[in-house]
Each structure stands twice: as C-alpha cells, then as structure tokens.
A and B are shown apart, each in its own frame.
Chain A
Amino acid sequence: AQSVTQLDSQVPVFEEAPVELRCNYSSSVSVYLFWYVQYPNQGLQLLLKYLSGSTLVKGINGFEAEFNKSQTSFHLRKPSVHISDTAEYFCAVSPAQGGSEKLVFGKGTKLTVNP
C-alpha cells in the first residue's frame, strides 16, 4: 500500500517570493507521483507528474518538482509566486504497475499568497 505525507498544512508567502511545498511518500513498489491544485469551489487540476526518466519535472504555471527516490520525496517548487497561486495543493501517488492504479492523496497544503 502507498501513503503520502504533506508536511505543511498551511504555507503563507508574499507575492514574488519562492515557495516549496513538501511531500513524502511511502511505498514498497515503484510509483508514479503527481501534484494537483484545487482552486476554491473547483475540481482538481493536474500541475505535473513523474512517471519515469528525468527526476526534475516541470508543470503548468511555472511549477516544478523533483523526485528523490532515496529520500522518498517529491517536493513542489515555484521561484516566484503570484496572488493567483493561492489554492490548495495535493500530492498523490499510485503504483507504477498493476493493481487498481488508484491515486492515494496527501491531506493537502493550503498556499496563501499575500500582497
């Protein structure tokens, strides 16, 4: 079974500052990793994903994440945030092969960007 821990439930930052949202996972098998964003009163939208290959993945809206297998982490970063990045961010994991391939989500990190 897989599990995800998002270490910060809330992250406040100022506009144009860098941000890192932390995610650690646990799994006995190889995994795929995802970051989703949820804006108020909306569904979940994929920001980026790691399936294989380069451990640094780039996503939409200037976000990137780095897969670190030895530390079982997949932290999300953005060098300069905007007010519009205020949202809740979810890290998710699924087994790379076999099974139902359901996504297991962390509890989310609320990013608040202040002017």
Chain B
Amino acid sequence: DSGVTQTPKHLITATGQRVTLRCSPRSGDLSVYWYQQSLDQGLQFLIQYYNGEERAKGNILERFSAQQFPDLHSELNLSSLELGDSALYFCASRGGRTNTGELFFGEGSRLTVL
C-alpha cells in the first residue's frame, strides 16, 4: 500500500460527458502529480501541484483541469470526453519531510469512454 488513494477505481461514461477523479496523497506529502497511461502513449505526465499551487504542466489538454485543495487532496477534471481519453489515470505524491526522490503512486482510475 503506497498510501496514495484514488477514487473511483473504474468509471464508464459517454462521449461529451465530464468526470472528476480524486486523489488523496500520502500523509505529509505536499506534491501531487497526475499521469495518464494509455497503450499508445505510455505514461504521460499531465500536471503537478505543490501545496495548492500549480508547479508544472505537461501534455495536458485544455479540456482537462486540476486543482489541489487546502487539505492537499487533488482532483482532475476531464470534460467534453472523447473516445481517445479512455486510459488509466494515476495520481502520485512526494515531498513530505523526507524527500527520497521517488514518486508514490496510487492504483489508478480506469476511465472508459463509450
């Protein structure tokens, strides 16, 4: 158990819809990272938040947005969904008092867009 919790584990929705994925980082971790894993693109970095502020942006579509709340949990919002958005979305955290370099990953949220 990495200590990172993601909900929901599975989500099936239709094109054009909007979904929200939630992540609770490890206790004490200030940084949250979102990654998208798909068969053709592999693991792609989407966005990072540090203590509530956006820190870095990767290949995140304009239809996607994220935020980190004062209690440090994070949400990834995906809107106007397309078939190609079907993927596994991972949240990871790091940056507690002891930063040992690695990211700690949740088990992911599998999104299926029909």
> How distant is the Cα of A106 from the Cα of B37 in the complex, in angstroms?
12
Partner of A43, one of B2, B48, B100: B2
Q: How far is the CB of B44 from the nearest CB of chain A, in Å? A: 8
> How distant is the Cα of A99 from the Cα of B72 in the complex, in angstroms?
20
Write out the residue numbers on chain B whose beta carbons fall within 8 Å of the beta carbon of A94.
Answer: 101
Write out the residue numbers on chain A whose beta carbons fall within 8 Å of the beta carbon of B31.
Answer: 101
Contact with B along A31-46 (1 / 0, CB 8 A): 0101010000011111
Q: How far is the CB of A44 from the nearest CB of chain B, in Å? A: 4
Write out the residue numbers on chain B whose beta carbons fall within 8 Å of the beta carbon of A36.
Answer: 105
| CB proximity to A under 8 Å, residues B1-52 | 2, 4, 31, 33, 35, 42-43, 45, 48
Q: Are A107 and B101 in contact (CB under 8 A)?
A: no
Write out the residue numbers on chain A whose beta carbons fall within 8 Å of the beta carbon of B107.
Answer: 42-43
Verify if A13 is at the interface (C-beta below 8 Å from B): no
Instruction: State the A residues within 8 Å of B (CB).
Output: 32, 34, 36, 42-46, 49, 51, 90, 94, 99-108
